[in-house]
Amino acid sequence: MEIVKKYIQNEPDKKTRSNWLELAKKDSRGIPMPYPPDNPVHRVKLLRGEEGTKTNYRGIEEKGVFLTFLEDGIEKKYFVPIYVTDKNSENYGKFNYLFQAFENINEGDELEMEYVRKGKTGFVDVRRAGEKRNEDDIPVIEDAPIDEIPPEYQ
């Protein structure tokens, strides 16, 4: 039946996450680390964005934008929440740093995206292809305390 095929083709595979842009993966200790470790910079082309909602890992429903990128000829999705929903964060209710990062980026732009560890926290760096990361623009991110950070990420 065509309607079933439509939903199956459009629904992400939760086990392989094959059509999601994966910038980080948790290591054996549960710490998000850049992925893949040997080349964590993802060169992508922004195709489009669609409003939507998603339940985050804390079980909170977030409003945001589902971005569709083209990476190595494959369409991949990435969800960017609009607001900080962590009530323990001093940024609660403010725009999410990643949402703000896409303010001056247009559909069709080629980007480099990378998950970066900075001490006990991490963030997603988004920049136009070929641009260098501006160290002054590193966002302040609240993250769960981590006891053991590998030296290369400190």
- Amino acid identity, residue 83? Y
Q: What is the pTM of this model?
A: 0.74
- Please give the residue that has the higher pLDDT: either 149 or 38: 38
What does the pLDDT read at residue 18?
Answer: 65
Helix ranges (H only) for the chain are 2-10, 97-101
What does the pLDDT read at residue 105?
Answer: 95
Residue 152 pLDDT > 50, yes or no?
A: no
98-128 tens-digit pLDDT: 999 999 999 999 999 999 988 778 899 999 9
Rounded-to-integer distance, Cα 107 and Cα 84, Å = 24
What does the pLDDT read at residue 7?
Answer: 62
Q: ∠86-77-97 over CA atoms, to 5°? A: 35
Q: Which of 2, 6, 41 is nearest to 23 (CA)?
A: 41
Rounded-to-integer distance, Cα 79 and Cα 98, Å = 10
Query: Given pLDDT bands bounded at 50, 70 and 90, which one contains residue 149?
Result: very low
36-91 tens-digit pLDDT: 999 999 999 999 999 999 998 888 899 999 999 999 999 999 999 999 988 888 99
| DSSP single-letter state for residue 7 | H
